[in-house]
Amino acid sequence: MKKKRRIPIPQKAKVRAELQKEISSICPFCSNNDVGHFQIHHIDEDPSNNKMDNLLLLCPTCHSKIEKNDIAKQTVINTKRHIKNKNSTIEFISVSVDSNNCGWIPFENTPYAFKAKYLKSLFPIFNFSFINQSQKTILLTSISLKAKQLPIGLAGPNYPLPNILRPLIKYRIQMPNNNKTVKTLLSEEIEVPKGRAFKFQVELYAKKMDIFKPPFGKYALFFEFEFTNNTSYKTPMILLNSDSYYEELTHIGIN
């Protein structure tokens, strides 16, 4: 692979201050708080990619552990995602599949991974649950979905178990092409009072069923939910596989 050139981070002091705030001045891996000596790590190992999403401030010891692969890249990616979501006023509770109404079931031992099992419906129907932890009523206004076809898949971070809320509403979202994002503005918005949990369903659809047939049927899905008051939430990566193309789901990637 061609090595990319390091590009100095523009407005480095400002970026560093923001990264420091993001981790509350504590190394996200070892709780070291000697923040003056912390270093900026490029998560995708591309030193020219200075986007905030690709940067993580951490102590020099943990930085060198990442370089020696003593801390796995996937752990770093999950940690960054967790830190970002922790600062959101929307709390993610769970995502599951509605196995009563679609042919998909959970994939063994892999969080947020599902497989096609029965020819009940072509596409998965997800149940998403969140809690509005902000001080205001919010509206869910759009859903963005990026789909990535996988050579291999990934395990997400651990979150609490599914709860038992009744879904309020079902949205049908078109499955994007590989590496594309489709943003759907919602005509029926969910209004959520502060402190309230809420649940809704998302049913994927595509023009052709072939999209989930082997060897095409392995996908990583990245949902982002946008609310009013500049609030948004990116869910953990969701993996889809087809039962007849059974392979261990492991995938390394930011998105």
Q: Of 39 and 137, which CB lies nearer to Zn ion in the complex structure? A: 39
Of 75 and 250, CB closest to Zn ion = 75
In angstroms, give the least distance from the CB of 38 to Zn ion: 8
Query: What minimum distance in Å lies between the beta carbon of 27 and Zn ion?
Result: 3
CB of 31 to Zn ion, least distance (A): 7
- What's the rounded Cα separation, in Å, for the pair 103 and 97? 9
Where does the chain have alpha helices with state H?
A: 12-22, 60-67, 73-86
Looking at the Cβ atoms of 27 and 90, the one nearer to Zn ion is 27
Nearer Cβ to Zn ion (39/121): 39
CB of residue 79 to Zn ion, shortest distance in Å: 11
Instruction: Using the minimum distance from each CB to Zn ion, give the nearer residue, 33 or 177.
Output: 33
Interacting residues with Zn ion (CB under 5 A): 27, 29-30, 32, 59, 62
What the block records as the tokens of 59 is 């102590």
22 neighbors 57 (Cβ within 8 angstroms): yes
Closer by beta carbon to Zn ion, 67 or else 210 = 67
Specify the amino acid at residue 160. Answer: P
Q: How far is the CB of 234 from Zn ion (least distance, A)?
A: 24
Q: Kindly tell me the sign of the dihedral angle through the C-alpha atoms of 19, 24, 30, 36.
A: positive
Q: Read out DSSP for 125-194? A: EEEEEEEE-SSS-EEEEEEEEEEEE-SS-------PPP--PPP--EEEEEPPPTTEEEEEEEEEEEEE-T
CB of 29 to Zn ion, least distance (A): 4
CB 252 within 8 A of CB 150: no
